[in-house]
Amino acid sequence: MSPSAVPTSTSHGHFKSDLNLSLQGLGVEYPPFLVGPEALETLANRFYPPTAALKKVLSINRFTGIETRAAIGDVDHPLVNQPTPPSIKALNDLFRVEGVRLSVNACRKAIQEWGGSVDDITHIVSTTCTNSANPGFDHFVVKELGIRTSIEKILLHGIGCSGGMAAMRTAAHLALGSSYQRKPARVLLLACEISSVLVRSELDSINEEQQTRVGVCLFSDCAAAAILSNGVGEVAPAAPIFDLLGWKHQIIDDTEEDLGFDVDPLGWKVVLTQRVPTLAAAAVSPCFQDLVKSVPAIDDNDQSPIAADFDWALHPGGSLIITGVEQAMNLTPEHLRASYEIYMKYGNSSSATIFSVLNKLRESEGKENVVACAFGPGIALEMMLLRRHQTGPSSANGFESDGTSESSDAAGVAVQDHITNGNGVPHMNGNPITTNEAAAADDDNNTDGPAAEASSSVANVSEQNGTPAADGEAGSGPSLPIEDVD
């Protein structure tokens, strides 16, 4: 890179035409267990009486559109089969083992694809919302990877499901700072969530407070990593996967109470109101328009691109989040194929999910430019424009490409078919929900039944393979009554 061409963003919110920032390695590590919706029902019936609130949650659980969720254990995992929910200490001890293990494996995949040495890594930016120990989990990942302890580390907290994208944005600014100093930057990005083990805490709240907590139906476990390079000092540059073209972070005003993930004596509890899907969908278009105008490489004064000109890597917080953005931006399931497929097979793994979606998206041919988007507590909206370089199988970096994944349209329809039969009638596997089930699942005042709630759900603990999950869709907080839960 020429010293006179150091890329920076301008003071007016516009990006230079060539930032020279790229993702050069991606790694996704899911734990070995995949559990279906029946796992939550098994665990709930094992420890709790069949109250009206629990019946309602279990009915919603059948209509999320999620076929399986990734978890560190099965439904008989000992931590979630004790007489009482696990303590924060027990959760932390487990994260120190399982979270670090998943993280190290994800990082090794990303580093292997990048092709560089751990000695060349200059920074690490990590995030999680399912652990808050000090030192952070990134400290132990660095030790396991053999990275020098003097590496510059940043651990982001309080940003939940938008954490993966916030980490990319933070890494991009660090890399641009290094470019300004004409120094190389090879930033290791890391996101890890262990949500499944919070299932008992969530079920306790459902039982004791008779609250309908949909998050327990959604969340899963995962670690994901990436390498971001500023290109300075590269002798034999690694082939980029995506170039970073520009990004935008904004807070939706007066939404602090709508989405959160707050500390509780037994872990963390999700806050998620019914307004979230509508608020999220409405915020995407103006953010997209502003971002496109700030990126000269994309914006054409004569004819600015529309949303359908891009592939979309949308964090799959819940089915209404995906379909809401799809409708608001006049997209098709094809544009959101990777988000649908990850949501159906693995569930919502909070901050780690966006990297999994990007990893899935690069498996197949698609549009050159990509919009990545996620929502977090605040409500925070993170959006980034990327340019695709590589296309090909990513089984070595996260999941098997077994040839069985559905087409994008089929994936989108499959998610919605878990929710309604196309006529607005809640059903499961093609069968209309019974009157008793509907009565158990419908809210008298503020919902349209299990289908509406399931599709609205964005965040919380997912029970997987007996290793229940915890974490909010954007990192959430304490539970709310059904009137307030999306």
Catalytic residues: 161
How far is C-alpha 113 from the chain's CA centre? Answer: 22
DSSP letter string, 187-256: EEEEEEE--GGGHHHHHHHHHHH----GGGGTB--EEEEEEEE--TT-SSPPPPSEEEEEEEEEE-TT-T
The type of residue at 373 is C
Coil vs helix vs strand at 440: helix
420: its two tokens: 């309604």
DSSP letter string, 256-304: TTTEEEEEETTEEEEEE-TTHHHHHHHHHHHHHHHHHHT-TTT--SSSP
Can you give the C-alpha Rg of the chain in angstroms?
Answer: 21
Alpha-carbon gap, residue 143 to 141, rounded angstroms: 5
**CB distance 443 to 212 below 8 Å:** yes
Residue among 157, 192, 199, 170 at smallest CA distance from 352 = 192
Alpha-carbon gap, residue 229 to 256, rounded angstroms: 34
Alpha-carbon gap, residue 60 to 438, rounded angstroms: 10
CB neighbour list of residue 377: distance below 8 Å, 6 or more residues apart: 158, 159, 160, 162, 256, 259, 260, 261, 271, 472, 474, 475, 476, 477
